[in-house]
Amino acid sequence: MSAGRLTERALIGIARRRAGDVLPGVRVGIGDDCAVLEPRAGAPLLATTDLLVEDVHFRRRWTSPADLGWKSLAVNLSDIAAMGGRPRWALVALACPAETSLEEVEAFFGGALALASAHDVVLVGGDTSASPSGWIVNVTLLGEAATAPLLRSTARVGDVLAVTGPLGRSAAGLTLLELPAPPPAVPADASTDVRAAHLRPRPRLREGQWLAAAGGVTAMIDLSDGLAADVAHIAEESRVGARVDLPRLPVDESTRCVARALDRDPLAWATGGGEDYELLLACDSHALDRLTAGLALATGAVLSPIGEIVERKEGVRFVGAGGRDVQVAPGFEHFVASR
Amino acid sequence: MSAGRLTERALIGIARRRAGDVLPGVRVGIGDDCAVLEPRAGAPLLATTDLLVEDVHFRRRWTSPADLGWKSLAVNLSDIAAMGGRPRWALVALACPAETSLEEVEAFFGGALALASAHDVVLVGGDTSASPSGWIVNVTLLGEAATAPLLRSTARVGDVLAVTGPLGRSAAGLTLLELPAPPPAVPADASTDVRAAHLRPRPRLREGQWLAAAGGVTAMIDLSDGLAADVAHIAEESRVGARVDLPRLPVDESTRCVARALDRDPLAWATGGGEDYELLLACDSHALDRLTAGLALATGAVLSPIGEIVERKEGVRFVGAGGRDVQVAPGFEHFVASR
């Protein structure tokens, strides 16, 4: 192998070394035709997969290989979190251009494994390939539902809609990252904060598990496509309508600060931005206070009620400060799709 | 949605409609954050993933969307076959250029689902995305090991090496497909046969399951990287050496016919070509006759002994007709890597 030249075996070697020794629940890890896993008897198995493509989901100008590794795992962890599950095993497929260095590949796996090990997830398999253009990552994550998994399709009319944290941070970060240079009007602290929210999202696993076990939550989804799109997903799958009160959306000071400096509307980021990876849930209105207090105690997360599940015929509505319906832009559009 | 314009929801709709109704072992399929599956209690879970990238693994000039769907599932089914397992659930991630038509996406899923349903595999999830350049497909396949799964790492010195079918067919097909036009010297029947072997490989699931249950097989792998590379995988993982007798390699008449017409060496295709998706196994020498007769009776496949597992210090050797060692080219190299 010439210096710096990537081969499939070199990539497998990196992935395998980084995956560590054999661990509980893994009979055979990387290096055979399949991973051989030992699920807990009786536990429903959760499976999710996400494909990240350069210049669609990220740009290498502002995404380091370690950030990409982290995020490719984070977006899948968030799907497990949305069902209240426990993540266990990851399969990572990576394609990169011939000129990619081994150091970059090491850094990619370093980022992915840092987040994986924080959640006791073992890398058990994958695939590696050349790519004729940019980086391509596909992560499949398997997990177990500790209790009955929370679905998108089970919200009921009268339920409260609530989110586990502030919205629009990731979109504020993306807006800054896409600018040719950091604008001097944006304070460094706020800029660092929202860019990190976009590059290294923290999936709400503990929150999801606590909420699934607490009782009273009727439906849940993670906020990946943007609030407007994800409320619509719950409404469609549950065959209900929804009303979101825009003044109640939690938007933190970093996001507001960046919005002011750039003369942008933080509510547009909060509703249409996507990739916040907070959880959106529907719950029995009588359970809201108990859930809010319990979640804060158990995880530190602040549950914010933002609206209500209504009859299907009312559709999905966003209501502004004056009580009037507001048109919100559709959810997150990828770079390529929005051209 | 404008006519022919692909959106994620449109793709999900196609995948979902094609996946059919809820089936045994699937509590929640496409449409939620994760699939919720019900593995058989006590059965080891098998997981494998493969990434196919346009102009690395296939060219659209000679791969129809339906062929691509078929093959993306076939290569994963073959990994399950190599462990003697039973495939159950597939997750399919697809990225395609903005100009892709809905008909092409329908055809892709049609090809994948045709092979999936032939093996009782249910499509339970996936992801869809735009792509800035070519088509990208990642399939993750989950299955169950009916008995103890067959590994690469358990071959023993003295075992016979054998394959479940002819080698070099896929490489012969690829050679023809890569030519600008079909050469008149190649008979149409042979050409059609080997091109189909490359485009629509038939994973050896029944053979793998039978061999795993029969006893006497000590190690198994599917021939995806090419015989030379895959023998080396078994040798490395089992910490043994191997001797392959080139005159014993099964090469069928279609492959020989194409090789003659193109003045190529069919043994080079059989050893280095890759993608035949036959099974390569090591077995107790006393079990060979029983396995050969039983496999033929149960599945029609012809088991061909091709060599022997030897001491590690002897390395991996390929021996020609005169009894002399022959250097064989390394395994399958992707288009991009071999530039």
Confidence of residue B222 (pLDDT cuts 50, 70, 90): very high
Q: Do the interacting molecules here have an ipTM over 0.95? A: no
Mean pLDDT for chain A overall: 91
Share of chain B above pLDDT 70, in %: 91
Residue A309 CA to residue A132 CA, distance in Å, equals 47
Per-residue pLDDT at A333: 46
Q: Which residues contact A85 (CB under 8 A, 6 or more apart)?
A: A46, A143, A144, A145, A146, A149, A208, A209, A212, B34
Closest CA to B307 of B133, B103, B152, B155: B155
Q: Which residues contact A327 (CB under 8 A, 6 or more apart)?
A: A318
CB contact under 8 A, B53 and A152: no
Closest CA to A92 of A131, A122, A127, A121: A127
Q: Which of residues 94-153 of A touch B (CB under 8 A)?
A: 94-95, 98, 124-127, 129-134, 136, 138, 140, 142-143, 145, 149, 151-153
Q: What is the pLDDT of residues B113-122, one digit of tens each?
A: 999 999 999 9
Per-residue pLDDT at A3: 32
The residue-averaged pLDDT of B157-183 equals 96
Residue A258 CA to residue A270 CA, distance in Å, equals 13
Predicted confidence (pLDDT) at residue B264 exceeds the cutoff of 50? yes
Confidence of residue B336 (pLDDT cuts 50, 70, 90): very low
Question: How crowded is residue A82: how many other Cβ atoms within 10 Å of its Cβ?
Answer: 34
Spans of all domains in chain A: 8-145, 160-319
The residue-averaged pLDDT of B20-48 equals 87
Are B123 and B15 a contacting pair, CB within 8 Å? yes
Q: Residue A87 in 3-state DSSP?
A: strand
**For A160-319, which CATH class?**
alpha beta
CB contact under 8 A, B80 and A34: yes
Measured at the alpha carbon of residue B300, what is the angle toward residues B296 and B304, in degrees to the nearest 5?
A: 55
Range among A9-13, A184-188, A299-303 with highest mean pLDDT value: A299-303
Q: Which residues contact B40 (CB under 8 A, 6 or more apart)?
A: B25, B144
Do A8-145 and A160-319 come out as alike in CATH topology?
A: no
- pTM for the predicted model, two decimal places: 0.93
Per-residue pLDDT at A22: 56
Are B320 and B247 a contacting pair, CB within 8 Å? yes
The CATH code of domain A8-145 reads: 3.30.1330.10
Per-residue pLDDT at A139: 98
The residue-averaged pLDDT of B13-39 equals 80
Which residue type is seen at A269? W
Q: What is the pLDDT of residues B191-217, one digit of tens each?
A: 999 999 999 999 999 999 999 999 999
Residue B33 CA to residue B112 CA, distance in Å, equals 22
CB contact under 8 A, B130 and A336: yes
Predicted confidence (pLDDT) at residue A280 exceeds the cutoff of 70? yes
Predicted confidence (pLDDT) at residue A15 exceeds the cutoff of 80? no
The three state secondary structure string of chain B is CCCCCCCHHHHHHHHHHHHCCCCCCEEECECECCEEECCCCCCCEEEEEEEEEECCCECCCCCCHHHHHHHHHHHHHHHHHHCCEEEEEEEEEEEECCCCCHHHHHHHHHHHHHHHHHCCCEEEEEEEEECCCCCEEEEEEEEEECCCCCCCCCCCCCCEEEECCCCCHHHHHHHHHHCCCCCCCCCHHHHHHHHHHHHCCCCCHHHHHHHHHHCCEEEEEECCCCHHHHHHHHHHHHCCEEEEEHHHCCCCHHHHHHHHHHCCCHHHHHHHCCCCCCEEEEECHHHHHHHHHHHHHHHCCCCEEEEEEECHHHCEEEECCCCCECCCCCCCCCCCCCC
Interface test mutation site (partner B, options A26, A34, A77, A141, max chain B beta carbons within 10 A): A34
Per-residue pLDDT at B1: 27
Element spanning A299, H or E: helix A288-299
Are B218 and B306 a contacting pair, CB within 8 Å? no
Are B163 and B303 a contacting pair, CB within 8 Å? yes
Predicted confidence (pLDDT) at residue B335 exceeds the cutoff of 60? no
Per-residue pLDDT at B6: 56
Per-residue pLDDT at B25: 86
CB contact under 8 A, B334 and A143: no
Are A276 and A168 a contacting pair, CB within 8 Å? yes
Nearest Cβ partner for A33 among B55, B83, B136: B83
The residue-averaged pLDDT of A144-162 equals 94
Share of chain B above pLDDT 90, in %: 81
Q: What is the pLDDT of residues A245-267, one digit of tens each?
A: 999 999 999 999 999 999 999 99
Q: Does B44 touch chain A (CB under 8 A)?
A: yes
Predicted confidence (pLDDT) at residue A11 exceeds the cutoff of 70? no
Nearest Cβ partner for B41 among A42, A49, A125: A42
Looking at domain B8-33+41-145, its CATH architecture is 2-Layer Sandwich (3.30)
CB contact under 8 A, B130 and A337: yes
Mean pLDDT for chain B overall: 91
Predicted confidence (pLDDT) at residue B60 exceeds the cutoff of 70? yes
Nearest Cβ partner for B47 among A79, A124, A138: A124
Minimal CA separation from A303 to chain B, in Å: 20
Per-residue pLDDT at A330: 63
Question: How crowded is residue B235: how many other Cβ atoms within 10 Å of its Cβ?
Answer: 23
Confidence of residue B9 (pLDDT cuts 50, 70, 90): low
